Amino acid sequence: MLDRILGRLRQKVRARRYVMTLHAEEEMNEDGLTVSDVESAVLTGAIVERQKDGETGELKYRVRGESLAAEAVEVVVKIGPTGKVVVITVYLV
Q: Would you state the pLDDT for residue 47?
A: 98
- Domain coordinates in residue numbering, the chain: 2-92
Residues 24-40 have a mean pLDDT of 97
SS3 68: coil
CATH of 2-92, one of 3.30.980.10, 3.30.2310.40, 1.25.40.10, 3.90.1300.10: 3.30.2310.40
Separation CA 48–CA 56 (nearest Å): 21
The overall average pLDDT reported for the chain is: 96
SS3 75: strand
- Counting residues of the chain whose pLDDT is more than 70, the rounded percentage is 100
* Contact call for residues 66 and 73 (beta carbons, < 8 A): yes
